[in-house]
Amino acid sequence: MDITAKMVKELRDVTGAGMMDCKKALKECEGDMDKAGDYLRKKGIASAAKKEGRATSQGLVGSYIHAGGKVGVLVEVACETDFVARTDNFQEFVHNVAMHIAAASPVAVTREEVDSTLIDKEKEIYRDQMKEQNKPADIIDRIVDGKVDKYYSEVVLLEQKYVKDPDVTIGDYLKSLISELGENMQIKQFSRFQIGD
């Protein structure tokens, strides 16, 4: 059976699990939504979404300096307990996220943190491009919305494709770690420094 992107999105909306986990679950369960949801719960993946509201007052500040010392990153990743912060998996995640930030240059952790003037400017550029191509007015808004979504996926850390595994986003990677370690976690903030910027 073909697993469509719509099916994956539907299961993801219900369970909060990552896209790749949802796709795998649907394949395993031959497209049956209920069975796929149960499959994810058994694996502990769906529980990641339920942990999102819990307080994260522990964690680590990680750093990464790219070879040659031209790019450096500091990132704060929070979790619920110091015990989890000291695990190898959590520390590896913090390091990998810092390395990803160095390579992918995001501007914010979430969509909400992206400067609205930046988005307005992008929308204006996209609208002008569509008008130049003589697109009908009713279609322009939909195209602009699609382009803005694509822009977010390029500049928002949680929506970026993970440089080490482009099949998953940083958000998916975070959710899989939450499932694995059983605690809520958040990427709180980061700073990226580059010589010449």
Q: Are residues 40 and 63 in the same domain?
A: no
pLDDT in tens, 134-150: 888 788 888 888 999 99
> Six-digit token pair at 173?
């990677």
- In the chain, DSSP assigns E strands to 58-65, 71-79, 161-162, 165-169, 185-194
Q: Are residues 166 and 140 in the same domain?
A: no
How large is the average pLDDT for residues 11-36? 80
Q: Are residues 67 and 101 in the same domain?
A: yes
Q: What is the pTM assigned to this prediction?
A: 0.70
Q: Are residues 99 and 43 in the same domain?
A: no
Q: How many domains does the chain have?
A: 3
Q: Are residues 102 and 163 in the same domain?
A: yes
Model confidence at 110, pLDDT cuts 50, 70, 90, reads: very high
Q: Are residues 40 and 66 in the same domain?
A: no
Q: Are residues 142 and 45 in the same domain?
A: no
**For residue 68, what pLDDT is reported?**
87
The CATH number covering residue 149 comes to 1.10.286
Amino acid at 145: D
Count H helices and E strands in the chain, helices first.
9, 5
- Residue partners of 71: CB distance under 8 A and separation at least 6: 65, 102, 192, 193, 194, 195
Over the Cα atoms of the chain, what is R_g? 19
Backbone angles phi, psi at 191, to 5 degrees: -135, 135
**For residue 128, what pLDDT is reported?**
87
Q: Are residues 177 and 162 in the same domain?
A: yes
pLDDT in tens, 35-65: 887 777 676 655 555 555 566 779 999 999 9
Angstrom distance (rounded) from CA 36 to CA 50 = 17
Write down which residue in 50, 67, 84 finishes a domain.
50
Contact 19, 5 (CB under 8 A): no
Share of the chain above pLDDT 70, in %: 90
Q: Are residues 27 and 12 in the same domain?
A: yes
Q: Are residues 63 and 106 in the same domain?
A: yes
Q: Are residues 37 and 125 in the same domain?
A: no
Domain hosting residue 148, numbered range: 115-154
The CATH number covering residue 20 comes to 1.10.8.10
Q: Are residues 87 and 177 in the same domain?
A: yes
